[in-house]
Amino acid sequence: MQRSPRWRRARLAALAAIPLLIASTLTTPSVSADVGDQNGRWDGFWGPWEWKNQPDLTTPVPSPEPLGTYDRKDFDNDGVVNIDDNCLLVPNPDQQPAVAGQSIGPTDLVTYAEQWKAENPNSRFRTDSQLGEACSGYNKNYLRTTKGLIESPDEVKDEIFKYLGQSGPMFGGATDPHAGTPEYPEGPGNWAPSLPMCSSWKKIAELPDWILSGFTQPSGTIFQELSKFLEQPGVSDIADCGTGAVPQAVEDSAMEYWFWAGKRLYTDADGGKISNRFVPFITEAPGSQELIWSGEIGQFFNRLHPGLFPLGTGQAGMGYIYRGKSYVDGNDTILMDWRGPNNYLVGSIWFGPSGWLIYDECRAIQTGVYHCSAVLDLVANEWTGQRMTWNEGWMPWVLKGPPTREEYLQAIRTPF
Ligand SMILES: [Ca+2]
Ligand SMILES: [Ca+2]
């Protein structure tokens, strides 16, 4: 269904406020935790902290799953099986190839993509020249891969991640002279708009269920029943995480008014750093660095909300990026560890759990388009083992273009 801009604008701002409130609660340490630094100190919950150490989460890294399980499936139902499809998530039965010369995007991103593919020729990742027109640089059709990802059923999002099976190339943007070292970044980096979405109502229900059960099990209370109700036929048309009208309205509002969860990436071919850009219409505004964040107002925000603005600058939270092993399937992944350099997204929260850590995982689908998850490890009591790893949601990232908010929204809401 096509929606008019007026219809979009008419949505209640309150709709956007709901997930923002939830996400703000989940992504903001209420206590500036003294846990972990880049010098190998014990961080209290997740083991000795060392740059590039895989976080020691509640759920251990599983044994690697064999690749190829999903090669003969057809994620986009266009009659071409995944392994042969030149647009994995965009229906294109004609398989019209990309027109030469459509490779766009930050130069280093494209370079890393070509290099990585040359080193991993049998990977499922595709470079620009290997794509079909339907998801290539032509007419910014790469945004349609993002649309396909968003609208894939929840269980298929998991399968897509497993199908990819390898990290793929890094994001580029390493104008940071300290890329790959535990220092703060400098320079603009590469920009990635992203649109967080709930993973599934069943997953969402695990958190309140876990709390209500006394931090023992992620099931068994009323929220699982509520999630079953939300996912039954008829109701899911409205409520489904990927395609339901209400979640889409919330996502649209979040993207339109907040451009929620934009990222700045600073990686060389092996890794580097990431900066979250909450409320980027403020943090990304020209001159904001000088006018707001470096001055008294910025310092006020810093004291008010150290989780969001830890540096008192437009940099809103830093994490490290490196290659690691996935907690989903044990295979290679791009790992984002929010413990460093300033322990962002690590700390205590107010409603019971005594500690928590966010890590993200990403795998590249095609040049500049990434399939990312957001996962929290929650610790209610380290000593009694009351811990839970919780898949909060999925986040498609786009680094090509980059698209404006309007382009992004139009692309993901225009029917194939
Ligand atoms: Ca297909
Ligand atoms: Ca296709």
Question: Mean pLDDT for the chain?
Answer: 79
* Ligand nearest to the CA of residue 126, numbered in listed order: 2
Percentage of the chain beyond pLDDT 70 is: 73
pTM for the model: 0.84
Distance 126 CA to ligand 2 centre (A): 13
pLDDT (tens digit per residue) in 211-263: 888 888 887 778 888 888 988 888 988 988 878 888 888 888 877 766 556 78
Query: Looking at this protein, which amino acid is placed at residue 124?
Result: R
Position with higher pLDDT, 278 vs 71: 71
Protein residues near ligand 2, an ion, with CB under 5 A: 76, 78, 85, 87, 92
Distance 94 CA to ligand 2 centre (A): 9
pLDDT (tens digit per residue) in 319-339: 889 999 999 999 999 999 887
CB neighbour list of residue 165: distance below 8 Å, 6 or more residues apart:
65, 67, 123, 124, 329, 331, 332, 363
Distances (CA, A) of 172 to 11, 210, 273: 36, 38, 10
* Ligand nearest to the CA of residue 74, numbered in listed order: 1
Residue showing tokens 């990686």: 267
Distance 413 CA to ligand 2 centre (A): 18
For residue 379, give the 3-state DSSP assignment.
strand
* Ligand nearest to the CA of residue 94, numbered in listed order: 2
Distance 72 CA to ligand 1 centre (A): 9
Distance 164 CA to ligand 2 centre (A): 15
